[in-house]
Every structure is written in structure tokens, then in C-alpha cells.
Amino acid sequence: MTERFRQHSIRAILDGYRSGSIAPTDVAQWAIAEWEKREPSLYAWECFEPQRLLDAARASQVRLAQGEPIRALEGIPVGVKDIFNTAEFPTQMGSPLWKGFTPGNDARVLYDIQRAGGLVPGKTVTAEFAVHALGKTINPHAADRTPGTSSSGSAVAVASGMVPVALGTQTAGSIVRPASFCGIWGCKPSFGLLPRTGMLKTTDSLDSVGYFVAHALDLQPVFESMRVRGRNFPISHGALTDEARQAVPMGRPWRVAFIRPHVWKHAAPYAVAAIEEWCKRLTAAGCDVTEPALPAGLEESHDVHATIYNRALAYYFQEEFKKAELISPVMNELIEIGRDIPNEAYVAALDRQTALARAMDGFFADVDIIVTLSTAGEAPLRHEDEPPDSALLWTLTYLPVVSAPVFRSPSGLPFGLQLVARRYNDPLLMRFIDSLVARGLLPEGSMYA
């Protein structure tokens, strides 16, 4: 019964419902078996309730027996990062200040997941207030290495096969990094496409909702289950439904930009060699791979991001800061830095963010997809800082990204390939990934531990 999510994508599970070879209660039992086996050593969950999951699976099974249609996430267990409101579980945000807090409602994305048939067995571990303090979660590939900080519990729950999909968030690199370090697929859609109603807010112009999955095939259906849609969202609706924008013209190769951003000096030599070799394979497969320079000013991204991020933390966590003894040293330090940033500097940084986002939108006039490293290399030791990488650049400029589990370091640890597209070209990005999976240039599954 164990390791079934490694063998079955969500699409395969739904096909099993149709053929009668799999039932929702089977899927719930797979999750429970892996949780019982792996959770005692990995600490991916703040809470997990097997009986609640089984009861929900039975309700799904009854629904199907009555002839109801199979929904996109029918009977699929979904991990939820503990910064999203949940009516049935506490929302504690990794902080003792909020221990036992019950919001009494579900976040918008959680409502959408459940409307699509998804089942929530519990809440996954988050860094304190989704910032930087590393929590209790263990990297399943190497216990002495970081799993990534903010969305670590969700990433490990998927990487260890406890659930096939889990919610995360990214304000800098908190989906891309855990996905890279844990060897799984991580997706941060275009800013604003997954709604933020009913979740912790840290930074208005940076907080982004995303997710982890075990299989490339599941990127698109999970995205479609949660994204905003319809003419109430005219800009994204127009872009997402523009078939010409979301496809490469027949007969033209994919135009791929291999980017070495300003943080490239931090990349490990083995990581640079790995992606250079992969890009050669991409060229051999018929893609038009170039190495253009990024627009001027992108090298400012980390400074612009820090100004916005730290000032916003100081504003949103004023009350928590009054009980500084219950906040981690790193959180206290960021709030103190943010309190010293003038409002004028914050507004100027927001204006600069808008300008850089427009510059990146123009960059995609001649480019379909950007490829670069997800992280500088393998996961660092738990007590070490994570080296700078480019994930923050794409968050700052609102772009959709996917971290793919492609590479292994000389010590056998995973690190990811990052794929980036123009804002609202999320379907195009997923089509590119599907085409590379079909040609063997990207794996369909993940690097399970």
C-alpha cells in the first residue's frame, strides 16, 4: 500500500476511479499509511487527522456511487500550509503567539480545492509567519540539510509520498527552494492568479500562492482548480483565454533564454555544468536556445525586494513585535530593519518593482521561456544560510515559475531547474513542460527519498 503516490499521478488516480480499480478510500489509506511510516522522522505536519480524511473519502465514494461526475481533485488528499485559514483545523502560522487560533473559515483557495473534490487531512509546518526561521521539518534526502524554510512542511509531505499535492506560498523563493532541495515539482503561478483571501499577509505586492506536486502531469489540473477565472478578472482572463498567446506558432521552435542572473557567482560549479549540459540537450532537441542579457536594473532586485519586504513586515507585525521574546531572532531583526525604512523609500521601491515588472514583460517579446537554476545547488546544512538565487527576481516581477526535479549533485542530493514565463502565460509554461516530458528532457515524476 505504501509509496502509491510515487506510482500514481492525480490523473492516474482519477482514471482508476473510472475503471473501478481505485476508490477514494484506497487513496486515503495510501496517505495514512505513508504518514504513519514517515511522519515520525520528518515532522512535516502540524496536525494530521486520519479519521477525518477517511470520513471525507467515504463521502466522496458515496458521491461517485450515486453517479456524480468525477471532479478535478476528487478524493485527493491535499496538504495545506499552516498560514491558510481552515474552518476545521487551527491556523497557527508557526508562532506560539497564535497557538490554538481557529479562524472559523476557509481560505478562498481551500474552498476551491474542496469544491474540486480535494480532501484536507491537516496542516503542514511553516516557518514562523512564513518568513525565515527554520522549523522542525526534516529534509527526507538528508536529515542534516535544510528542506527549505517557509513552505518546508508542504514540500516534505509531497517529497516523502504522504500526499500528492500540497499548498505553499512564495514571497521570495519559498516554493522554488523547497521544491529544489526536496526533489519535487513546485509551481508559483503568475502573481494574483491564485487568490489570497483568508491567509496570512506579509507583503501586499509579493505574497504569492502556489503548490507542490509529485508529477508533472498534475501541474495543470491543480492550477485550473484554484485559479481566478471569468470576466471579473479582465486582464488575466483575456491573457489566459488567448490561444495565440498560449501556444507557439506551428513550425516555429520554442525560443528559450538561458539566463545567468547577477547571483550566478553563488552557483556551485557542478550546478552550472549540469544546466549547461541540459541546455545543449535542449538545443539538440530543436529548441532555439540563446543567452540574452536581462533588462537593465534587474541586478537591483534583491535590494528592492528587501526594502518592500522588511518595511511591510514591520507594519503587519507591529502587535507581535510588542512580544518580541516570543518571536525568533531573525524575525525581530527584520522588523527592526523595517521600522527604520522611511515611507518614501518604501513607495520608491514599489515604483521600482512596477518598472522592473514592465521591463520583464517587454523581455518576453522575443522569448517564450526562461531557464535557469532553481537554487545555487544542493540543500545547504541546516545551520547554514541558503546561498542567493534568482527565485526572488521572478517573484518581484510577478512571473510564473516552475521548479523541476532535474539534477543531482555529486553527493546525490537533488536540485532543480527553474522555468519562467511571461506574466499570465502560465498555460504556455505548462505546455512547454509537457512537451519536454514527452521528449524525455524533463522527468514526469519526482526524486523521492
Q: Is 123 a catalytic residue?
A: no
Question: Is 174 assigned a catalytic role?
Answer: yes
Which one is catalytic: 60, 95, 150, 225?
Answer: 150
Which residues are registered as beta bridge partners of 199?
84
Whether the CB-CB separation of 36 and 42 falls below 8 Å is answered with no
84 DSSP 8-state letter: B
- In angstroms, the CA 320 to CA 252 distance is 54
81 is catalytic: yes
Residue from 9, 95, 174, 180 carrying the catalytic annotation: 174
Q: Which three cell numbers stand for residue 110?
A: 481551500
* C-alpha of 311 from chain center: 24
Active site residue: 9, 81, 152, 208, which one?
A: 81
Q: Measured at the alpha carbon of residue 307, what is the angle toward residues 302 and 311, in degrees to the nearest 5?
A: 145
Q: What is the secondary structure of 379-415 as a DSSP string? A: PPBTTSPPPP-SHHHHHHTT--EEEEEEEE-TTS-EE
Give Cα 52 distance to the centre of its chain: 26
Pairing of strands 401-408, 208-213: unpaired
Q: Which residues, 6+ apart, have CB-to-CB distance to 247 below 8 Å?
A: 428, 431
Supply the residues annotated as catalytic: 81, 150, 174
